[in-house]
Amino acid sequence: MITTQNKHVYIKTINYSNDYKKECAKVRNGWTSLLIIKDASPEVEKITGLTALSQDLYGNKVIPIGGDNNKDSGHIWHETEMLWHNDRAYSKDVHPVVGLYCVSAPKGSASTRFCDMQTAYEEAPQRLKDKSKIKCVSDVDKYFQQMQYPHTFKEERNEKIYRKRSKAVHDLVMYDDSGTWFFFSPAYTHVDHQDELVKHCLQDKYIYEHVWSNNDLLVYNNLKLIHARGETPSKVKRRHLRYALT
C-alpha cells in the first residue's frame, strides 16, 4: 500500500477478488476515502458489491466523455471540464460510495482530481468550523449559472424540469465514526462564506490527481471527497463505467 500525503487517500493494488468487497467496505465505513485499484477485473459489480448505474439523466451506464454523443438518450455529453462536486449532491439520496471503472483512456484524456474534505475540516481554523455548522441548499441550477453544464438537453422542457427539481438541503458539516468533514460542492452548494471554504479546502495538500489507465477502478467515499476533471479533446474517446452503492 502506498499512502499519499493526504491522511485518508490510499493507492492500493489488489490481486485477489475476495479482497475487493472488504476494501470497498472500508470506503463505505469512512476509514478509507479513496481506493485505487490498478488492473482491476471488469466484473465490478461481482467483486465490489456496487451496482452499475443506469444514469438517471442520460440513460446509459457508459459515460461518453470526450465528445462521444449518446444518441439513445435525451442528452449529449461534452468534453468540457467539470467543476468540483460530490455526485448527486443536489439530491436527497446522495450516493455514499461511487466507483469509476476505466474502459479506455487514450493519450490526451483528462485526469480526475479528488479533494479530501475530511482532512481539510480537521485542519481548518476553528472560526471556519464554527460558521459552517449550518444547513445549506445544494442546487444543480448553480452549476448552469457558473459555466457550461457537461451535457446538453435535447429538449428544453427536460432541462427546465431538471433544473427546477434537482435541489436538496444538507448539513454543511457531516460526521461518522471515522471523523468529520465539510460536505461542500462548489458546483452546487449555496453558502455565504464560499470563498473562504474554497480557499481553505482546495489547497494542493488536500488534492490527489489521478491520471487514468485502462482497467483502473477508483472507489471513493462520495460524501467525504469532492472531485473535478479537466477537459478532454473531442477527438479523444475517454470511456468509463459508473457504479454506486445505492
Going residue by residue through the chain, which has 246 residues, state the pLDDT in tens, using 9 for 90 and above: 334 445 666 556 555 455 777 888 888 888 888 988 888 888 888 878 888 765 444 333 333 333 344 555 554 455 678 899 999 999 998 999 999 888 888 898 889 999 999 999 999 999 999 999 999 999 999 998 887 777 677 778 888 888 888 999 999 999 999 999 999 999 999 999 999 999 999 999 999 999 999 999 999 999 999 999 988 887 887 777 778 876
> Which structural domain range is residue 178 located in?
2-245
- How far apart are alpha carbons 160 and 64 in whole angstroms? 23
Of 99, 96, 95, nearest to 42 by C-alpha is 99
In the numeric block, the cell 441550477 is attached to 141
What single letter denotes the amino acid at residue 93? D
Paired with 101 in beta bridges are 217, 241
CB 97 within 8 Å of CB 245: yes
d(CA 203, CA 198): 8
Residue 63: what pLDDT? 39
Largest CA distance in the chain: 50
Please tell me the total count of domains within the chain. Answer: 1
| Sequence-distant (≥ 6) Cβ neighbours of residue 232 within 8 angstroms | 65, 66, 67, 79, 108, 109, 110, 238
What cell does 26 get? 472500508
CATH of the domain at 237: 3.60.130.10
In 3D, which of 140, 10, 35, 37 has the Cα closest to residue 82? 140
**Is there a contact between 207 and 113 (Cβ–Cβ < 8 Å)?**
yes
* Beta-sheet strands, E only, within 70-224: 75-77, 82-85, 97-104, 112-116, 135-139, 151-153, 167-171, 173-176, 179-182, 189-190, 207-210, 217-221
